[in-house]
Amino acid sequence: MDNSMDVGYSADDKELKFVGKRTNRPDGVDKVTGRARFGADARLPGMLYGKILRSPHAHARIISIDTSKAQMLSGVKAVVTRDDFEDRDSEFVPAGEMMVNYRDMVRNIMAREKVLYDGHAVAAVAATSITIAKQALKLIDVTYEVLPHVIDVVEAMAPGAPLLHDDLFTDGVEPKPTKPSNVAKRLEFNMGDIASGFAGADEILEKTFDTKPVHQGYIEPHSCLASFSENGSAELWCSTQGQYLVRAHCSKLVGMEISKLRVTPSEIGGGFGGKTVVFIEPVALALSKKTYRPVKITMTRDEVFRSSGPTSGGNVRVKIGITKDGKIMACEAELKYQAGAFQGSSVQPGCMCAFAPYDVANVNVIGWDVLSNRPKVAAYRAPGAPVSEYAVECVIDELAERIGMDPVDFRLKNAAKEGTQTAYGPKFGPIGFVEVLEATKALDHYKIPLGPNQGRGIGSGFWFNIGGETCVNLNVNEDGTLTLITGSPDIGGSRASMCNMAAEELGIDVGLINPIIADTSVLGFNFLSAGSRTTFACGLATIEAARNAIENMRKRVAQLWDIPLDAVVWEDGAARPASSNAGVFEPMTLPEIAKIAPKTGGPIAGHAEINAQGAGPGFGTHMVDVEVDKETGHVKVLRYTVIQDAGKAIHPSFVEGQYQGGAVQCIGWALNEEYVYGEDGRLQNSGFLDYRIPLASDLPMIDTKIVEVPNPNHPYGVRGVGETPIIPGLAAMSNAISNALGLRMTELPMSPPKVLKAIKEAGV
């Protein structure tokens, strides 16, 4: 950190009063009473309802769009198409820390030359009722020239595959290609010499795995309410993980200055990475701009599945060589990920994470970013890592079994530690993989005997975690209570953690702090709630703001007592003389200082405007026991334990919650979830009935073990925890089923028909 405050971790043994405790959740009562307002819960006078017309074709040229009949329908106030959005140059520009290609984005929110997936937006209307809006869509005439489509990643890479963009040339291959293709990019990460690594190996295993696209599955559909004023400014209410990014993208796409667009995040009903991008928001703004009336757009569940940002399906080939006593000598992988209709899959982090948990001298990873006629992918928790680490962890497990080594011991033998060189560049700082594996070994779960057709599997994984731009204000109110203003939406209880940290710093009761998550007009830029950054970065900024407030209060008291600033200390919620040498003064509590603030210079606050650095990587291991019914192919999850390093669990209940939620998403991804496409390239299972996420009746309790290896770059040692839980479970489930059946399936999901097929083919 380059600012003057010391924000490193201090390992002193002072007993913490709030950090680490299961304090009350400030927004909890509103959420259990139905009072909390989510995306679709807002309304404004004069509000219109927006509906979007979407392509019924996976791939087609748009010949013409005729909206005249729709415009004449009584009750229709505005219609927008591609003509209402200005085209952009193709270039990757930073949009608040993300690299964005606005030419792709403007086409994703409203198709221009072509529709590139079933569900691609083509036009939109705003009308006085939903019924009229739906009728209006039927009156819009679109003439399409249907084109052949391609979905599967391997097929999309093949020469002669239907081409999505005739101006896309593969980046990262030499010589530069002269013909366009669906392959946007080739990446390579190289370390050491894998040929000699494999030459020194006693056992080598190479396997290829296939996964299907899945959706983040948030229960709350995207929803927004846009209101344009005649003065050229606008307000936008939306369900999002990052209101500042929504502001950045929308102001660009709609053509307005950033300061004129005020974005308020609603409470968010799940995101998991899928609400880090815009879909309907620029459209609602464009409709509102035409009518100067508020326009509300809410996606249906069908639209969420078809037209938001589900993840890549992937094809991953992994080859690992080990010595007969279990040392990994060389690792090779080739990852092919679907990016969807526009470039930018998570193949890069997928490549970086693949072998990162292990200390290996020789690594080669190649990645391909491949377009196909599906929605442009968005992040799903740790984007890219679940699929690559799934493949790696399955191969590792088989190799361990081949040499008769316990799978946890095998991972321990090769585990990355502080100072281990990663294949993607840096050496690790202090990390907790060894501690997580040792905790795994010590679990009672590990000792439970298994019965027939039962199997136990483990898997491990890691995510980098990030920091990023964060602004926090801490206002001291006249009565000695505080208002803590932060800018990253609370997806899973983070505002409680912020209050814990602020209360700890100030030495006051956590109940005196009221947290607010502010709209974009209140604070400077805040990066989104993603990347497992909220508790880390927002926490860091909260601590800095608290320390800043403390310093301001000490200044007031020092002036009042007429002694130097450094003669005043802050302890247990009050300013005190540093020693008897400073003089005899009664300590002044925070409420006392607040009460006389007008007399000592005015309102008191603490600020932080930072770019939080030093996020600590989080390692996790999952252990799962399953039972396979060989007649139906049904897999029952008997026991599941998540072991993960949190650095420091600021609020243990919410850390456990992240572990449990991620584990169950792994179970769904491993056993049932997949996008099923028809021959026509259309999505066949766009609802929760046929896109089967886990139910309460599918699952056992999910046990958790929080390991704490402090991150030295955070005062309380915090490491992000939100994303790592989505990684280890895919391999853990595959390894468990493998052990139960005595055969290895190499594709996900391992749904009953597929399990039955595998059993039949293997004759077990």
Partner 1 sequence: MAKQHVTTTVNNDEFEFLCEPKASMLDVLRDELNLTGSKEGCATGDCGACSVVMDGRLVCSCLILGVEMEGKSIETIEGMADGEKLHPLQQQFLDHAALQCGICTPGVLVAAKALLEKNPDPTEIEVRYWLAGNLCRCTGYDKIIRAVMDAAKEMRAS
Partner 2 sequence: MAGGETEMEVEATSVRQIFRHLQERFPNIKSHMVDDISVAIDGSVFQDAWLKKVTENSEVYLLPRIGGG
Residues that bind partner 1 in the complex, under the rule CB under 8 A = 22, 24-25, 27-29, 31-38, 40-41, 43, 131, 216-221, 267-270, 272, 298, 300-301, 491-493, 653-654, 656-657, 660-661, 663-665, 687-689, 693-697, 699, 701-702
Q: Can you spell out the DSSP letters for 250-312?
A: HHHHHT--GGGEEEEE-B-S--TTTTSS-SSHHHHHHHHHHHTS-EEEE--HHHHHHHS----
Give the integer Cα–Cα distance in Å for 742 and 315: 23
Answer for which of 117, 218, 464, 654 binds partner 2 (CB under 8 A) is 464
Q: Could you say which of partner 1, partner 2, none residue 426 binds, taking C-beta under 5 to 8 angstroms by partner kind?
A: partner 2
Cross-strand pairs, 370: 183, 338
SS (H, E, C) 397-411: HHHHHHCCCCHHHHH
Query: Which residue is it, tokens 């009584």?
Result: 74
Q: Which lies closer to partner 1 via its Cβ, residue 269 or residue 461? A: 269
Q: Which of 682, 538, 505, 687 shows the shortest CA–CA distance to 608?
A: 538
Query: Which residue is it, tokens 């955070």?
Result: 714
Name residues contacting partner 2, limited to 625-684 (CB under 8 A): none
Q: Which lies closer to partner 2 via its Cβ, residue 114 or residue 714? A: 714
Give the integer Cα–Cα distance in Å for 371 and 683: 17
Q: Could you say which of partner 2, partner 1, none residue 457 binds, taking C-beta under 5 to 8 angstroms by partner kind?
A: none
CB 87, min distance to partner 2, A: 21
CB 99, min distance to partner 2, A: 6
Tell how strand 513-517 and strand 482-486 pair up: parallel
Q: Residue type for 156, please?
A: A
Cross-strand pairs, 637: 626
Name residues contacting partner 2, limited to 596-635 (CB under 8 A): 611, 613-615
Q: Could you say which of partner 2, partner 1, none residue 36 binds, taking C-beta under 5 to 8 angstroms by partner kind?
A: partner 1
Q: Which two tokens stand for residue 208?
A: 């290829």
Query: Is residue 244 close enough to count as binding partner 2 by CB under 8 A?
Result: no
- Using CA atoms in the order 98, 99, 103, 105, what is the torsion angle rounded to 10 degrees? -30
Query: Is residue 378 close enough to count as binding partner 2 by CB under 8 A?
Result: yes
Q: Cα angle at 500 between 496 and 503, to 5 degrees?
A: 130
Answer for which of 270, 313, 349, 577 binds partner 2 (CB under 8 A) is 349
Q: Could you say which of partner 2, partner 1, none residue 267 binds, taking C-beta under 5 to 8 angstroms by partner kind?
A: partner 1
Query: Is residue 173 close enough to count as binding partner 2 by CB under 8 A?
Result: no
Residue 338's φ and ψ, nearest 5 degrees, are -75, 130
Q: Could you say which of partner 2, partner 1, none residue 406 binds, taking C-beta under 5 to 8 angstroms by partner kind?
A: none
Residue 45: DSSP 8-state: T
Query: Is residue 465 close enough to count as binding partner 2 by CB under 8 A?
Result: yes
Give the integer Cα–Cα distance in Å for 233 and 228: 6
Answer for which of 424, 619, 640, 675 binds partner 2 (CB under 8 A) is 424
In this structure, are residues 60 and 147 in contact, taking their beta carbons and an 8 Å threshold? yes
Q: Cα angle at 341 between 337 and 347, to 5 degrees?
A: 20
Q: Could you say which of partner 1, partner 2, none residue 134 binds, taking C-beta under 5 to 8 angstroms by partner kind?
A: none
Q: Which lies closer to partner 1 via its Cβ, residue 45 or residue 160? A: 45
CB 711, min distance to partner 2, A: 10
CB 309, min distance to partner 2, A: 10
Q: Could you say which of partner 2, partner 1, none residue 465 binds, taking C-beta under 5 to 8 angstroms by partner kind?
A: partner 2
Query: Is residue 94 close enough to count as binding partner 2 by CB under 8 A?
Result: yes
Q: Which lies closer to partner 2 via its Cβ, residue 383 or residue 668? A: 383
Residue 437: how many other CB atoms lie within 10 Å: 25
Query: In which element (H, E) is residue 195 found?
Result: helix 194-199
Q: Could you say which of partner 2, partner 1, none residue 688 binds, taking C-beta under 5 to 8 angstroms by partner kind?
A: partner 1
Q: How far is CA 547 from CA 4, 234, 295, in A?
A: 12, 35, 43
Query: Is residue 93 close enough to count as binding partner 2 by CB under 8 A?
Result: yes
Give the integer Cα–Cα distance in Å for 643 and 706: 6
Q: Could you say which of partner 2, partner 1, none residue 699 binds, taking C-beta under 5 to 8 angstroms by partner kind?
A: partner 1
CB 33, min distance to partner 1, A: 5
Q: Which lies closer to partner 1 via its Cβ, residue 221 or residue 633? A: 221
Q: How far is CA 453 from CA 395, 450, 521, 671, in A?
A: 22, 9, 59, 17
Q: Which lies closer to partner 1 via its Cβ, residue 161 or residue 499? A: 499
Query: Is residue 273 close enough to count as binding partner 2 by CB under 8 A?
Result: yes
Answer for which of 46, 255, 429, 687 binds partner 2 (CB under 8 A) is 429
Q: Which of 486, 723, 537, 491 shows the shortest CA–CA distance to 97?
A: 537
Residue 683: DSSP 8-state: B
E runs forming strands in 633-678: 635-645
Answer for which of 181, 532, 641, 672 binds partner 2 (CB under 8 A) is 532
CB 429, min distance to partner 2, A: 5
Answer for which of 254, 379, 731, 759 binds partner 2 (CB under 8 A) is 379
Tell how strand 618-628 and strand 92-95 pair up: unpaired
Q: Which residues bind partner 2 (CB under 8 A)?
A: 2, 92-94, 97-99, 272-274, 276, 346, 348-349, 352, 378-383, 419, 424-429, 463-469, 530-533, 611, 613-615, 713, 723
